[in-house]
Structure 1
Amino acid sequence: MDQAPIKELIRFEDFEKLDVRVGTITTVAEVEKSDKLMKLTVDFGDHTRTILAGIKQERENPFEIEGKQALFVVNLPERKMAGEVSQGMLFDIGYADKLTPCLAIPEHHMPNGSRAG
């Protein structure tokens, strides 16, 4: 893999604006109007959210992540895609480098809603 250059420096205050939390993926479903998107229902402890993720073609079995904890960005504006609304973003590793992506996961079980950073 060719290493990408490090992005432009940001202020710590900008980094602190991101709200990255642990959630458990309780269900994974297909998005009928999309060849790429899967619909994840994610438990964040005090609430659940629907998060659309472009993992349909990235994984041999996108349903295999059901029941797993992962990191999610939860303070993005809602976004409508393929007729569905996404309430956050799955934080995965590898896609930007054209590698088979994997989940960014806690080292051990963490309470849903735990913040990263």
Structure 2
Amino acid sequence: MHLPHDPANPAADPIHFDDFLKVDIRVGTIIEAEPFPEARKAAFKLKIDFGPTLGVKKSSAQITAHYALKELIGRQVAAVVNFPPRQIGKYMSEVLTLGFGDETGEVVLFAPDHTVPDGARLF
């Protein structure tokens, strides 16, 4: 059910367009996916190919509710590629894979609906 205004999830404060341009969101193709049993919340370890300029980056993603490991291989996803790496347990996550919460809060991946070149930037 879609609510026109959800006071529990208000819109963020306005920003300048230049602030948006600082966030580097790129598309990449998942080339490896494996379990991440050490994570506090259920997650997978991903290796994502962002093309020749950025190469392959690692990400931890809490996407176990809607996705099986086998179906992730070859799937394009969007990720923020210019955050500093983040240590998650013994795993260093290099990019933030993007998604939206469904009605129960489980992550649904954000991806283009047509194939685009790996490394393409969101604008």
Displaced runs of 4 or more, over 4 A: none
Structure 1 gap segments, 5+ residues each = none
| Alpha-carbon distance between aligned partners in 2 of 1:42 and 1:112, rounded to the nearest angstrom | 9
Of 97, 105, 109, the residue aligned with 2:115 is 109
Aligned residues: 115
Is 1:40 the counterpart of 2:21 in the alignment?
Answer: no
CA contact (8 A) 2:28 2:78 kept: yes
Q: Which residue of 2 aligns with 1:50?
A: 58
Matches within 5 A, 1:77-92: 77-92=84-99
| Alpha-carbon distance between aligned partners in 1 of 2:67 and 2:116, rounded to the nearest angstrom | 27
For residues 32-58 of structure 1, the C-alpha deviation after alignment (integer angstroms, 9 at most, x for no partner) is 3124221101001111011111223x3
In structure 2, the CA distance between the partners of 1:60 and 1:73, relative to structure 1 (3 Å rule), is: closer
Asked which structure has the greater CA Rg, the reply is 2
TM-score (norm 2): 0.83
TM-score (norm 1): 0.86
Of 3, 9, 15, the residue aligned with 1:10 is 15
